[in-house]
Structure 1
Amino acid sequence: MASPDKKSFALRIDPALWAEIERLAAHELRSANAQIEYLLREALARRGIRPDQGPSARRGRPPRAPDQGEEG
């Protein structure tokens, strides 16, 4: 399932190319989808195009909410 801030679309791709993307993604510890996005950004950068990536998703546990009854 695509995250709400990402555009999703169907992609027809050669099975041999897909296999290489999956192999490379596994080697670089990415999902195949993240690998495709990485490769597209890399190709655009080589052409001098830098699309706005927007804010990165924060990793890890969200910050703890302060207790409502506690004064501080």
Structure 2
Amino acid sequence: MTSRKNFPLRIDPKLYEALERWAADELRSVNAHIEYLLREATRRAGRLPGQKTPEKQREDA
């Protein structure tokens, strides 16, 4: 199993409730869903290690 970084997250209770419902709809835990959303946003922004930046992707297209 890969190690994971633990850190406290302060979040508005209403936002947490919305994430909780969304995570349940996707059959994920809230933690897993937050990680999924962050990974997707990071991927779209071209910020994942080894990934081309969005500008580079447009130049190559």
Instruction: Indicate whether the TM-score tops 0.5.
Output: yes
TM-score (structure 1 length as normaliser): 0.62
Say which one has the larger Rg. Answer: 1
**Structure 2 unaligned spans of 5+:** 51-61
TM-score (structure 2 length as normaliser): 0.72
Q: CA RMSD in A?
A: 1.9
For residue 16 of structure 1, give the secondary structure of its aligned residue in structure 2.
Answer: helix
- Rate the CA distance shift 1:17–1:11 in 2: closer, same or farther, 3 A: same
> Partners of 2:39 and 2:16 in 1: how far apart?
18
- Structure 1 moving runs of 4+ over 6 Å: none
**Structure 1 unaligned spans of 5+:** 53-72
Asked if 1:18 is matched to 2:43, the reply is no
1:48 maps to amino acid: G
Select the structure that is richer in helix: 2
